[in-house]
Structure 1
Amino acid sequence: MRILVLSNLYPPNVIGGYERLCFEVTCALAAAGHEIVVLTSDYGGAVAEYPGQRVLRDLRLLTGPDIYTPFPGTPEDRAAIGVTNLAILHRVLEEVRPDVVFAWNLFFLDASMLKALEESRFRTVVMLTDNWLLVMRNPEFVSAYFRDMVHGPHPFVPPPEPAPAPPPSLLHRVVARVRRLAGRAPMPGLEAIFGAAFVRDLYAAGGSRFPRHRVIHNGVKQSGHAAAPTVDRTGLVEAGTLNLLFAGRMVDLKGAHTAVAAMPLLDPAALGVDRIQLTLLGDMQDAAYMTQLQDAIAQSGQAGSILLRPTVAESALPALFNAHDIYLFPSLYEPFSLTLIHAMALGIPTIASRTGGNPEIMRDDESGLLFDKGDASGLAAAITRMARDGALRARLAEGGRHSASRFTFERMVAEMAEFLASRA
């Protein structure tokens, strides 16, 4: 296949997991012999070439000097950048003439890009592991969802499945065939791959359904995990100390502040330890959130027991998880986390929020413990239960390995390639 990959960011310019996953999938498709052209932005300024890929860094994102800063220009400036980006897209489409456009995250690009893909004669499959397309189509729904369900108390209830459409009549089929023969077939529209059933349901709730779609759970490379050293989870890594770990981007939605709020609720003596230490590890580029988090640490009375550390390479994850007793994953919003899969696959007992795609990865009391998002007391209760019971930690660690083994990178890429190659 000739595939045009479209993404707002692309390595070596990386912010989060979306563009990393896009890159890894694209590399795998190139290694399988597909002809790959990548159209991305100039954000970050770094360039690199990758085997089997032609990378065009011609688009411009509507952001400030970094991804967390709003676009500083006027509406006219915004419109001019949108027109230029749209012209680049049309030029590349006509030059490459792809069998399929594989569109990943298009946040910070004008909605006209999405409309052009919908109306293009070139088949487009959108990869949806987040709400970027829903923001373009129905921003009011997304705003209400985050207000009422992510930061508010209301639960998200998936909408009912629509009734199956009746088969087309003979007249409809004849008219459609005549239109195709006359070169007047309707535009193909968008098809979708969803990284989780939760994401599919969120889009449906926002009024955005795709007649042709598939849920393909995200996966991670686990070939080296089996050879990684393991830890006896019936005991603690460091005698007398309970070492807790949060690893993820330091942004509001990842919920590091919930872990901080749980710390004063934990009693070392009741847990049978001398001290409790929480390590918060991750990307700290969101300056506004870091100010809030550092204030929360100071006000918790636990500043001496909470460490802030920068992110580590994926290759360092086995050693990182082995150096801690319990992994905390307290996201307020989490479509489908690769880091959570890594943690479970590497055998660290894990506590995660019961939100988004997390329950698709983890079963409560089988492969980890789940608690209600934002509930610091619920998180503290889960930590207490797990800290007191070494046999429980060992059982959940083994259950986590088994559950995570379903979410492999190789399985995900094979299913994606099959969907990209198939036709309705």
Structure 2
Amino acid sequence: MKILVLTNLYPPHYVGGYELRCAAISEALRARGHDVQVLTSNHGLKSGETTAEPWIERTLRIHGYYGHPWLGLPALKKLELHNNETLRNAMAFHKPDVVHVWCMGGLSKSLCLTLQRSGVPAVYDVSDHWILRSLKGDVWLDWWNRRHGSPGSRMLRLLWTLAGVRRRCDPLAPTGPVSDIRFQRLYFTSARLRELTAQQGYDVMHGGVIHCPVDTSQFKGEPVTRAPKNWLWVGRLAEDKGILTALRALLLIRPSFGGELHVYGRGDEAYVTMLKNFASGNSLPVTWHSATPPEMPDVYRAHDALLFTSEWEEPFALTPLEAMACGLPVIGTMTGGSRELFRHGENALTYEAGAATELSERILQLQSEDHLRTYIARNGHTEVHKRFAMNPIVDQVEKYLCDSIPS
């Protein structure tokens, strides 16, 4: 297959797991012999800097995200024209069989309409809330189609329409409403994310589900069956990640808790200070750390159990997958895509998000019940290596792309 990957960011310039997953799967498809070309933004490049990889073109422009400025309408028009011309040129040069669209946060959503008009099959990998949250807020498409706005904005739109600006611009940088975008071929990282997106009025329930993979060549280890002493928490230090619930749970069982909680992550300075003050003020056995992505496999292997306390609708979190791949038993919430991974008492212990008392009971249960701890650690380890390793996930993506190309 000739595949053109369209994405907002691409490593080494990235902000999270979505971009890393895009790179891992794109490079796995290249390794299988597919002709993969990547079209992404110039985010992270210094002025005049070019990319060294001949199969990666970093020439799209980001609007309003990742520190890039929000533009006035004349400058935004230039950006939209540039991005759409860049996409058309890439498609004309590479002649892809399919365009594999990843995260569009900060990119021109008019590109979706340009793809639609091209007739080339497009497959959307939806691993975060960009359709649900940012599609209708696209500044360019919204400006052309909003019914309200300031008198000056309405007057300019009327004048541009009467003067033929919209008619001339639309073939080059589409101005149609978001409702014109059709996601004929797409898959989500979880059924829950698909459901949430559909609840916002998008016709996506026909989409597939392909979960996130974990690199089991790096995240590996034997199932941990010993009584946990070194407990691990990994993630962004923010309210919606539930770290405060973990601390409150430890406070409830402080006399009976026989270990330490090691917290790995960063966050807003004021919030982190509050967390540290709560832990120290209550004499909780908690230490605070950070690690780079390459260091994380060793971090997992140095611990005995993971607390996954997320309290928001995460599409499909990688942290519990990585921990289970390294053999750790996991206690986690059933928010978002996690309900498609965890089965209470079989491959994890679960509790209601935000319920510190129930979490404290699960911690004591995992600490004291040897047979249960061994059972869930082994089941979780086996399941992740079988279902969520890179090869079976790439198999699913490869098949979905192939099936999207007319025979």
Say whether the 8 Å CA contact 1:118–1:188 is kept in structure 2. Answer: yes
Using a 3 Å threshold, how does the CA distance of structure 1 residues 369 and 71 change in structure 2: closer, same or farther?
farther
User: Could you tell me the percent identity over the aligned residues?
Assistant: 29
Listed as ranges, the matches of 1:251-400 within 5 Å are: 251-267=238-254, 269-271=255-257, 273=258, 276-282=259-265, 284=266, 289-300=268-279, 301-302=281-282, 305-314=285-294, 316-331=295-310, 332-400=312-380
Report how far residue 351 of structure 1 moved.
0.9
> Residues 234 and 392 (structure 1 numbering): CA distance in 2 closer, same or farther, change over 3 Å?
farther
Shift in Å at residue 202 of structure 1? 1.8
Distance of 1:232 and 1:97 partners within structure 2: 50
Alignment match, 2:4: 4
Q: Which whole-Å CA distance do the structure 1 matches of 2:77 and 2:264 have between them?
A: 39
Partner of 1:165: none
RMSD: 2.8
Write out per-residue CA displacement over residues 226-283 of structure 1, whole angstroms, 9 at most, x where no aligned residue: 6x3x3652334xxxxx32211123445433333234332232x323x2xx4222213x
The answer as to whether partners of 2:212 and 2:318 remain within 8 angstroms in 1 is yes
> What is the aligned counterpart of 1:422 among 385, 399, 403?
403
* Matching residue of 2:41: 41
Q: After TM superposition, list the pairs within 5 Å mapping 1:182-221 onto structure 2.
A: 190-210=184-204, 213-221=207-215
- Provide the secondary structure at the position in 2 that maps to 1:307: strand
Amino acid at match of 2:226: T
Residue 235 (structure 1) aligned to one of 216, 222, 227: 227
Aligned AA (1:365): G
The alpha-carbon distance between structure 1 residues 389 and 364, as it changes in their structure 2 partners (threshold 3 A), is: same
User: For structure 1, which runs of at least 5 residues remain unmatched after alignment?
Assistant: 141-185, 237-241
Q: Which residue in 1 is equivalent to 2:92?
A: 94
Residue type matched to 1:133 in 2?
I
Could you list the runs of 5+ residues in structure 2 that have no partner in the other structure?
139-179
Which residue matches 2:383?
Answer: 403
Q: Does 1:61 align with 2:55?
A: no
Conserved in 1, the CA contact under 8 Å of 2:233 and 2:262?
yes
Question: Partner letter of residue 328 of structure 1?
Answer: L
Question: Corresponding residue for 2:169?
Answer: none
TM score, norm. by length of structure 1: 0.76
CA–CA separation in structure 1 for the residues paired with 2:263 and 2:100: 35
**1:15, 1:92 → 2: CA distance?**
25
Q: CA deviation at 1:302?
A: 4.4
In the TM superposition, residue 212 of structure 1 has moved relative to its aligned partner by 5.4
Conservation of the 8 A alpha-carbon contact between 1:6 and 1:103: yes
Matches within 5 A, 1:102-121: 102-121=100-119
1:43/1:378 Cα in 2 relative to 1: closer, same or farther (>3 Å)?
farther
Equivalent residues, number: 358
Please tell me whether the aligned partners of residues 334 and 355 of structure 1 are also in contact (alpha carbons under 8 angstroms): yes
Amino acid at match of 1:195: T
Q: Secondary structure at the match of 1:36?
A: strand
Distance 1:317 1:390, change over 3 A: farther
Any conservation in 2 of the 1:82–1:109 contact (CA below 8 Å)?
no
Aligned residue identity for 1:270: S
Q: Is the 8 A contact 1:328 1:351 kept in 2?
A: yes
- Per-residue deviation at 1:79? 4.2
Quote the offset at 1:305 in angstroms: 3.3
Tell me, yes or no, if the aligned pair for 1:120 and 1:187 is still in contact at 8 Å.
no
Q: Secondary structure of 2:336's partner?
A: coil
